[in-house]
Amino acid sequence: MPAKPISIGSLHFNKKGDAVEHFKAMLNRYDVGDKVNAVDGHELRSVLALHPDAAEKIGCGVKDFSVRSADYGTKCFWINRSDGTTEKFSCSTCIRG
């Protein structure tokens, strides 16, 4: 099966795997505890909109994003909502559905 291009906001990738690698590289630019900058945050909002449970993840609204610890000693992006609650999410799940 040939690779299918994917667009996420203003970003365009030749295949989903390229998109996953882009966001993985973004995650690796940050340390645990870092707040995500505004440019990367804009891209994360676009990919989050593709999540199968996007409405649930977004909740009352996204204030910003950060990088925190995840399961099994890994790190991941976290949504910091406007009401002070937080939720982790996977860019891979957003992209691959």
Mean pLDDT confidence for 74-78? 95
Condensed to tens digits (0 to 9), the pLDDT of residues 37-75 reads: 999 999 999 999 999 999 999 999 999 999 999 888 899
Domain 32-96 has CATH 3.40.710.10: no
Cβ–Cβ < 8 Å for 62, 25: no
Q: Give the pLDDT confidence score for residue 3 in this predicted structure.
A: 82
Condensed to tens digits (0 to 9), the pLDDT of residues 9-32 reads: 999 999 999 999 999 999 999 999
Q: Give the pLDDT confidence score for residue 1 in this predicted structure.
A: 67
- Answer yes or no: is pLDDT of 2 > 90: no
Distance CA 6, CA 25 (A): 17
Q: Give the pLDDT confidence score for residue 71 in this predicted structure.
A: 81
Distance CA 44, CA 67 (A): 12
Query: Which position has the token pair 């939720």?
Result: 87
* pTM for this prediction: 0.93
And the tokens for 43?
Answer: 């891209």
Amino acid, res. 2: P
59 phi-psi bin (left φ>0, alpha ψ -120 to 50, beta other): left
- Kindly state the DSSP code that residue 29 receives in the 8-state scheme: T
